[in-house]
């Protein structure tokens, strides 16, 4: 609403909008979610319009564009196909890591197949000991073995791992706390890799998994980026991931809000639409204002990032705003829809469940606030 797209962005968004209307009508998305099934058809259709190649140069098999097109894509997916939006965040993370840190051979091997939807990737950092204090909990280790590496350990809460072809795994390669971690490219079929789907209550259309790595032998060129700098290299991409998470959270909130407004116009009580009652009308207006503000912050930060500016503070502000606005919009949606919100065939409950992810991923809102307290407000570190 407050953002004027250029012609390329408008054309691209129109194409995504048409595709979603055709391939991912709400009943279909909901039915797949209820069956905990990944939408392969939508994934492929999005690949064909170039959605999975956004942010990757055409010369590498991508479709060009940058942070703005990525957030526009993810916000639209969040409004309608929430699990596919989460897939998109991981897809863009994987292609970004490969694009920034891959050798020419790694880029050639993986980028085109990822962008064209032939393969999918997972990002494996978190372990069962916890995601926030990751430098303490990360125990997966890679040791030199012959010409290459041998990996042992396990990962937890990994998106998409049972259906991924490629795992990007962070493992300890030296004793230094932060500069002793490397990234590895692990084909999912490698011996010793086992991904198991966890039984979770949300993001049902995209598996969340544990991954065991038992004596996984890798060649020397399986390292992505610089040995022992893997964690620092991942940190460098977190602004983009925060912005992409903000886009999904904004989208989910806007999806819930749109549904709530439509319902408030149709549903009647005491001879009038429930949206005529000021108690609901004002809440819907305030939730809409909050969502517009969050989305404007997200787009503004994405635009700055596209210009090459450091957006660590801006992306953190956008993430907090979008996570809060999205959660409150979904909560209000549940109130407006009343008992029907419990209907598993109605998407409101899905928005309400799925929005939770972005209150703690990729970083919890408390840790984002810690970062802002320190870096934005100049207050002493709180932990
Ligand atoms: C559905 C799903 C998908 C995921 N996908 C992936 C993936 O693909 N790849 C991957 O690597 N990880 C993934 N994750 C993991 C995710 O990134 C972590 O859940 C997240 O980093 C938080 O870690 P935690 O859940 O272990 O919380 P914990 O670290 O156990 O934290 C618990 C609580 O303590 C609070 N806390 C901790 N320290 C502080 C502090 N200093 N100040 C204030 N509060 C604090 C936190 O804010 C939080 O509220 C996924 C998780 C889920 C549930």
Helix (H, G, I), strand (E, B) or coil at 121: strand
The verdict on 217 and 273 lying in the same domain is no
The verdict on 304 and 327 lying in the same domain is yes
What was the pLDDT predicted at 120?
98
Task: Tell me the two tokens of residue 62.
Answer: 């991508």
Residue 144 φ then ψ, to 5°: -65, 140
Given 95, 120, 145, the domain boundary residue is 120
The verdict on 137 and 253 lying in the same domain is no
What was the pLDDT predicted at 238?
87
Confidence of residue 3 (pLDDT cuts 50, 70, 90): confident
The verdict on 95 and 143 lying in the same domain is no
Atom 7 in ligand 1: residue holding the nearest Cα: 158
Mutation test residue for ligand 1: of 36, 38, 91, 131, the one with most atoms within 8 Å of CB: 131
Atom 53 in ligand 1: residue holding the nearest Cα: 157
The verdict on 176 and 283 lying in the same domain is no
Q: Does the residue 2 lie in any domain?
A: no
Q: How far is the CA of 358 from the centre of ligand 1 (A)?
A: 10
The number of the ligand 1 atom at minimal distance from the alpha carbon of 170 is 11
| Residues, the chain | 383
The number of the ligand 1 atom at minimal distance from the alpha carbon of 383 is 41
Q: Does the residue 41 lie in any domain?
A: yes
- Using a 6 Å CB cutoff, which residues line ligand 1? 90, 122-126, 130-132, 157-159, 200, 203, 208, 357, 360-362, 364, 366-367, 370, 383
Domain housing 290: 234-375
Express each pLDDT in 258-307 by its tens digit: 999 999 999 999 999 999 999 999 999 999 999 999 999 999 999 999 99
Strand 223-224 vs strand 181-187: parallel, antiparallel, or unpaired? antiparallel
| Average of per-residue pLDDT values in the chain | 97
Helix (H, G, I), strand (E, B) or coil at 254: helix
Confidence of residue 5 (pLDDT cuts 50, 70, 90): confident
The number of the ligand 1 atom at minimal distance from the alpha carbon of 363 is 21
Buried b / exposed e across 234-252, counting CB within 10 Å, b at 16+? beebbbbbbbbbbbbbbbb
Q: How far is the CA of 128 from the centre of ligand 1 (A)?
A: 10
Mean pLDDT computed over 146-169: 98
**CATH code of the domain in which 25 resides:** 1.10.540.10
Q: Does the pLDDT value for residue 36 go beyond 90? A: yes
CB 134 within 8 A of CB 126: yes
The verdict on 48 and 61 lying in the same domain is yes
What was the pLDDT predicted at 41?
98
Q: Does the residue 223 lie in any domain?
A: yes
The number of the ligand 1 atom at minimal distance from the alpha carbon of 124 is 11
Mutation test residue for ligand 1: of 91, 319, 360, the one with most atoms within 8 Å of CB: 360
**CATH code of the domain in which 240 resides:** 1.20.140.10
The Cα–Cα gap between 42 and 16 comes to 11
The verdict on 76 and 180 lying in the same domain is no
What was the pLDDT predicted at 2?
82
- Tally of structural domains, the chain: 3
Mutation test residue for ligand 1: of 82, 94, 124, 132, the one with most atoms within 8 Å of CB: 132
Q: How far is the CA of 360 from the centre of ligand 1 (A)?
A: 5
What was the pLDDT predicted at 1?
79
Q: Does the residue 383 lie in any domain?
A: no
C-alpha angle 358/96/375, rounded to 5°? Answer: 55
The verdict on 221 and 272 lying in the same domain is no
Confidence of residue 11 (pLDDT cuts 50, 70, 90): very high
Given 76, 99, 120, the domain boundary residue is 120
Nearest to 86 by CA among 135, 43, 49: 43
Atom 14 in ligand 1: residue holding the nearest Cα: 157
Mean pLDDT computed over 225-252: 96
The verdict on 266 and 307 lying in the same domain is yes
Nearest to 82 by CA among 127, 126, 26: 26
Q: Does the pLDDT value for residue 144 go beyond 90? A: yes
Residue 39: partners with Cβ closer than 8 Å, 6 or more residues away: 24, 28, 29, 32, 81, 83, 84, 205
The Cα–Cα gap between 188 and 186 comes to 6
The verdict on 104 and 150 lying in the same domain is no
Given 67, 101, 120, the domain boundary residue is 120
Q: Does the residue 1 lie in any domain?
A: no
Q: Does the residue 382 lie in any domain?
A: no
The verdict on 245 and 182 lying in the same domain is no
Express each pLDDT in 106-133 by its tens digit: 999 999 999 999 999 999 999 999 999 9
Mean pLDDT computed over 352-359: 97
Confidence of residue 4 (pLDDT cuts 50, 70, 90): confident
Express each pLDDT in 316-325 by its tens digit: 999 999 999 9
**CATH code of the domain in which 207 resides:** 2.40.110.10
The verdict on 267 and 351 lying in the same domain is yes
The Cα–Cα gap between 29 and 79 comes to 11
CB 255 within 8 A of CB 79: yes
Express each pLDDT in 58-108 by its tens digit: 999 999 999 999 999 999 999 999 999 999 999 999 999 999 999 999 999
* Residue spans of alpha helices (H) in 308-376: 312-337, 348-354, 357-360, 365-375
Q: Does the residue 380 lie in any domain?
A: no
Q: Does the residue 315 lie in any domain?
A: yes
């Amino acid at each position: 609403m407050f953002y004027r797209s250029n012609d390329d962005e408008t054309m691209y968004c129109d194409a995504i909008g048409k595709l979603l209307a055709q391939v991912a009508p709400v009943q279909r998305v909901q039915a797949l979610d209820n069956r905990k099934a990944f939408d392969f058809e939508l994934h492929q259709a999005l690949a064909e319009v170039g959605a999975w190649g956004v942010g990757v140069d055409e010369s590498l098999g991508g479709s060009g564009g940058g942070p703005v097109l990525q957030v526009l894509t993810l916000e639209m997916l969040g409004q309608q196909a929430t699990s596919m939006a989460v897939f998109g965040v991981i897809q863009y993370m994987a292609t970004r890591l490969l694009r920034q840190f891959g050798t020419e051979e790694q880029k050639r091997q993986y980028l085109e197949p990822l962008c064209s939807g032939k393969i999918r990737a997972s990002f494996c950092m978190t372990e069962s000991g916890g995601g926030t204090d990751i430098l303490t909990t990360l125990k997966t280790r890679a040791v030199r073995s012959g010409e290459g590496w041998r990996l042992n350990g396990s990962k937890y809460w990994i998106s998409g791992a049972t259906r991924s072809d490629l795992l990007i795994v962070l493992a300890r390669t030296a004793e230094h706390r932060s500069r002793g971690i490397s990234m590895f490219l692990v084909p999912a079929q490698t011996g010793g890799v086992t991904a198991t789907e966890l039984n979770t209550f949300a993001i049902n259309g995209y598996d969340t998994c544990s991954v065991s790595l038992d004596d996984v032998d890798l060649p020397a060129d399986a390292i992505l980026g610089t040995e022992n700098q893997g964690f620092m290299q991942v940190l460098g991409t977190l602004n983009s991931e925060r912005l992409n998470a903000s886009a999904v959270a904004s989208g989910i909130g806007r999806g819930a809000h749109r549904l709530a407004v439509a319902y408030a116009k149709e549903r009647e009580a005491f001879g009038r639409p429930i949206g005529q009652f000021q108690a609901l009308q004002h809440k819907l207006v305030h939730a809409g204002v909050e969502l517009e503000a969050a989305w404007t912050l997200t787009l503004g930060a994405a635009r700055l990032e596209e210009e090459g500016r450091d957006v660590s503070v801006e992306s953190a502000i956008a993430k907090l705003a979008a996570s809060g606005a999205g959660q409150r919009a979904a909560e209000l949606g549940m109130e407006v829809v009343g008992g029907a919100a419990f209907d598993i065939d109605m998407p409101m409950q899905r928005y309400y469940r799925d929005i939770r992810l972005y209150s703690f991923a990729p970083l919890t809102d408390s840790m984002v606030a810690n970062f802002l307290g320190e870096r934005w407000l100049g207050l002493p570190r709180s932990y």
